[in-house]
Structure 1
Amino acid sequence: MKKSNDTKYAILGLLTTDCRSGYAIKQMIDRSLNHFWKISYGQVYPMLKQLVTDELATVRDTTQAGGPDKKEYFITEKGEAALQEWLQTPIDKIPAERNAVLLKLFFSRHQYADTTIRQLEDYQEKLKERYSTYEVIEETIASHMRNKQDAPYWLFTLDYGKRRTKAAIDWCTDTIDQINSGRDNHG
């Protein structure tokens, strides 16, 4: 059985928004999808070309005043049908998380507790920065994009990210406290 390429469907989905050029698609990815789905420039343009080849999208050259022509992409009826089919297909498994902090923590009996705590504190700071970014994104959607049909769904995925990040921040605090408590009890 051929493995599904979810990036194809991410880009098809972006074509249902106001994103029409490869550049606009990448900007939207960087502002939103990148928090839960990584797609590089190196994937965007070949995938757009493949979507056109597969008749899931069309491309049109558009003249820009004072600039070079740009290619604009539009989802086709066949593309909309493919996106609908993918959206309705149940998720077969929970994606595995790859987290270097957890991997290091798993083996942390082989390093000083202070080093483990520093790593956890650094991770927690990065999580707090991410959480702040999510709050800015949420404010932007609420104040500038609330009339878009996609906005509630964007906020749902953002809420997931905020909750997950908040849980990880709390987990860092608890884990650091437990490590410190273990040190206090052993010496």
Structure 2
Amino acid sequence: MARESTCRFAILGMLCREPMSGYDLRSAIERSVGHFWQESYGNLYPTLERMAEERLVELEPEERTQGGRIRKVYRVTEAGRTALAEWLRRPVLPHVERNELLLKLFFGAQVGPEDSLAQVERSRAEAEGLLAALRLIDENVSQARSGDPEFAYQHLSIRAGLLGLEAHLRWCDEAREALQRVKRTAGSTKKKGAR
């Protein structure tokens, strides 16, 4: 079965929270689910237009900005809510992650341990930054929304991100040790061969 684009369902979920413009949707996605879900403007606007044609969303009466531009604000329709609920009930399709770091490490013997170690160190530094940002989000959301009925559901995604990043950091430490052993072994083999 072909994988259905989930962009539309991310949009429907956001619009169930409140009506938004395309710009507002992109910002809301970045602020809320951005640690595990991304949508580009290039995908967001055409999807919104298709969804309007399918009557999953509709435009609210036009607003003019202070600059005189028309601001298109979308809201979800009953058909959109139904489509989202149906999608939420379907089993998640198996997903094979495309991980460039792991692909590079798999073929790392072609360049040696130093280059692979540098890749791991960059990934570790990035993960540390993401983990710090996600911990701050978790703290802020926990304080601000703990009484909100949607909080428990949303907090599950934050926890998955936190635990995934913590696991990645532990893996980076193991990878660093393994690559340093390879580097030492390669260095001692070169010294023996030079004698």
State if a TM-score over 0.5 links the two structures. Answer: yes
Indicate the residue corresponding to 2:42 in structure 1: 42
Residue 36 of structure 1: CA displacement? 1.6
Q: Deviations over 1:85-121 (max 9, x none)?
A: 100011231x111111111100111113122112111
Higher mean alpha-carbon deviation, 60-69 vs 175-184, is at 60-69
Which amino acid in 1 is paired with 2:39? Answer: I
Residue 147 of structure 1: CA displacement? 4.0
1:35–1:49 distance in 2 versus 1, CA, 3 Å: same
Residue 166 of structure 1: CA displacement? 0.8
Residues paired across the two proteins, number: 186
Residue 56 of structure 1: CA displacement? 0.9
1:59–1:174 distance in 2 versus 1, CA, 3 Å: same
Give the root-mean-square deviation of aligned CA atoms. Answer: 1.9
Indicate the residue corresponding to 2:81 in structure 1: 80
Residue 185 of structure 1: CA displacement? 4.6
Indicate the residue corresponding to 1:8 in structure 2: 8
Distance in 1 separating the partners of 2:82 and 2:112: 55
- The answer on whether the counterparts of 1:19 and 1:28 sit within 8 Å (CA) in structure 2 is no
Indicate the residue corresponding to 2:22 in structure 1: 22
**Structure number, greater radius of gyration:** 2
Distance in 2 separating the partners of 1:180 and 1:5: 42
Unpaired stretches in structure 1, ≥5 consecutive residues: none
- The answer on whether the counterparts of 1:62 and 1:71 sit within 8 Å (CA) in structure 2 is yes
Identity of aligned residues (%): 28
Indicate the residue corresponding to 1:137 in structure 2: 137
Distance in 2 separating the partners of 1:6 and 1:86: 9
Residue 2 of structure 1: CA displacement? 5.7
Question: TM-score if structure 2 supplies the norm length?
Answer: 0.86
Question: TM-score if structure 1 supplies the norm length?
Answer: 0.90
Indicate the residue corresponding to 1:107 in structure 2: 107
Secondary structure of the 2:61 match is strand
Distance in 2 separating the partners of 1:97 and 1:63: 41
1:65–1:120 distance in 2 versus 1, CA, 3 Å: closer
Distance in 1 separating the partners of 2:99 and 2:122: 14
- The answer on whether the counterparts of 2:55 and 2:79 sit within 8 Å (CA) in structure 1 is yes
Unpaired stretches in structure 2, ≥5 consecutive residues: 189-195
1:131–1:67 distance in 2 versus 1, CA, 3 Å: same
Distance in 2 separating the partners of 1:146 and 1:24: 24
List 4+ stretches of structure 1 deviating above 4 A. none
